[in-house]
Structure 1
Amino acid sequence: MERIEYRDVINKADWTRGPWDNEPDKIQWQDEATGLPCLIVRGPSGSLCGYVGVAPGHPWHGQDYDSCDVDVHGGLTFAHGCAEISREKWEKWRERQYARRDEAKKYPIGDAARDLKEWAKELEDYDAWVVRATSRYICHIASPGEPDPVWWLGFDCAHSGDLSPSYSGRYSFGDHEIYRPISYVERECQSLARQIASVTLPLRHRG
């Protein structure tokens, strides 16, 4: 799988300055040791999330994250297939966004108002939505011959003690929060990939 970095896809104007200013907001790559696809995606709070793709046939493919015994930052918090990027999905997304207009008018500095402003172009342009969704969603671009419908197992770095950039300029949680940068999340993905690769199919009973 080709390594792809997506930059400047999130508006950080209201955040305090930090290492996140120069980081990608999403990366896809193939783990060298295991060959598994990996993702890093910046979440709504500005913190990074890491994901490793499980191919069909693996015991954990399709399983809930609580069913997978791994050691990773904060524990697993995500298990799902690739985000769908299609015209039908776009139309449903548009309906939900338009339904939030009353909320945006009532709370002009709230999440709904921010999202409608940030995604204004994509509300009317499907092709623009595809480009932006690809740079923001939990999905990847597989190379020819690679499994496409992988099952993503993921973790996030927005737990107690983690610094979330989008909150740092608006809320004070003390001086003990630590921002988990790209290098940290990439190492955690590598560790998660090794743990996933070590799980084997159960032996069939012979009788």
Structure 2
Amino acid sequence: MAKNPKSTALVPAGQRKPPAKRKAAVPAVMPATPDALRPVLGLDLAIAKLVGSGGDVAREDGIVRVTGLGYATRGCVVPAEEIFYDRSARRDDEGARLGEADKVSWRDEASGYDCIMLRDSNRRHLSGYVGAPRDHPIWGWKCEAVPPDLGIDVHGGLMYSRLCQHGPSPTPGLVVEAARICHVRVVPPPRFEPLVHATDHRVEHADAWWFGFSCDQVYDVVPADVHGQAKFLQAEVGAVYRDDAYVVHETVSLAAQLRAIADGKAAPSRDGPPPPPIGLDPRRGGGRG
């Protein structure tokens, strides 16, 4: 018998309790005031894009997540659920792009579909994604299998189609969430704690099938392509950088088109100029994704 039950060294192996599992680290959360945001974002330009009052900010390994505030582009204010900045990947030569977020997640009010604007961690261009619910007519379809007669018209054509990306654990950290293409994962508040954010009541979702487009076509300025053939081709076709306003607009347009397909209606008229013709990009062979 063990003389000291508090000492595991004297307790027989069969009677020892297994070591307690370590809980995942929860990033510290602080109010998203300008004074709190300035040292973690580092730019007043980035702070100026956050709209509203209240909100929270959390930090983890160079990732900053802002919740409870809207996100302003030159075209609209996005009703953001989460806004991410990747401080570790920032470059000094990105000019005005330094003020943009690296990921914005929101629910489009008109279609009811979840949307994401996401920056590629390597080439630094933006992409847009819309989550089609499980009962959608083309849920589970590969982007290359979507027929042209459905009328989907988005920048570069559909380039992405995939199920929700689940993290490595039920509560992935900010590093995973900042790059994950899936619904906003809401952790239920502790019992008896009042709801703080509108998304706190959301139940566990069924997997969406995400369709997306990417602004790294030959007619796009890609921040990482500063030398070589890519830059030469961009100059030849008058390529421009597709900013957050453009990507949000295209994402909302894609959501409207997917909703029209679900409702059995004609594709809605586009608001604003059409995207560049896919045929401009020799990599696409003139065909639709």
Same fold (TM > 0.5): yes
After TM superposition, the runs of 4+ consecutive aligned structure 1 residues lying more than 4 A away are none
Q: Which has the higher strand share?
A: 2
Give the Cα–Cα distance (whole angstroms) in 2 for the partners of residues 50 and 19 of structure 1: 20
Aligned to 2:249: 187
SS at match of 2:181: coil
**1:17 is matched by which residue type in structure 2?**
E
Aligned to 1:27: 104
Matched-pair identity in %: 29
Aligned to 1:134: 177
Give the Cα–Cα distance (whole angstroms) in 2 for the partners of residues 27 and 38 of structure 1: 8
SS at match of 1:19: helix
Residue 77 (structure 1) aligned to one of 159, 162, 165: 159
SS at match of 2:225: helix
CA-to-aligned-CA distance 1:95-143 (integer Å, 9 cap, x gap): xxxxxxxxxxxxxxxxxxxxxxxxxxxxxxxx8x732010112123154
Q: Which has the higher helix share?
A: 1
User: How do 1:141-156 residues align onto structure 2 when only pairs under 5 Å count?
Assistant: 141-142=184-185, 143=199, 144-145=202-203, 147-156=205-214
CA contact (8 A) 1:39 1:50 kept: yes
Residue 61 (structure 1) aligned to one of 126, 134, 139: 139
Give the Cα–Cα distance (whole angstroms) in 2 for the partners of residues 32 and 4 of structure 1: 16
Pairs aligned (count): 161
**1:200 is matched by which residue type in structure 2?**
A
Residue 126 (structure 2) aligned to one of 24, 48, 61: 48
Aligned to 2:168: 86
CA contact (8 A) 1:48 1:185 kept: yes
1:201 offset after TM fit, Å? 7.1
Q: Call closer, same or farther: CA 1:63–1:10 in 2, change over 3 Å.
A: farther
Aligned to 2:48: none
Q: Call closer, same or farther: CA 1:177–1:130 in 2, change over 3 Å.
A: same
**1:140 is matched by which residue type in structure 2?**
H
Structure 1: 5+ residue runs without aligned partners? Answer: 89-126, 203-207
Give the Cα–Cα distance (whole angstroms) in 2 for the partners of residues 61 and 2 of structure 1: 25
Give the Cα–Cα distance (whole angstroms) in 2 for the partners of residues 152 and 133 of structure 1: 17
**1:159 is matched by which residue type in structure 2?**
Q
1:189 offset after TM fit, Å? 0.8
1:27 offset after TM fit, Å? 0.5
TM-score by structure 1 length? Answer: 0.69
Give the Cα–Cα distance (whole angstroms) in 1 for the partners of residues 103 and 118 of structure 2: 4
Larger radius of gyration: 2
RMSD: 2.5
SS at match of 1:53: strand
**2:158 is matched by which residue type in structure 1?**
L
CA contact (8 A) 1:12 1:166 kept: no
**1:24 is matched by which residue type in structure 2?**
A
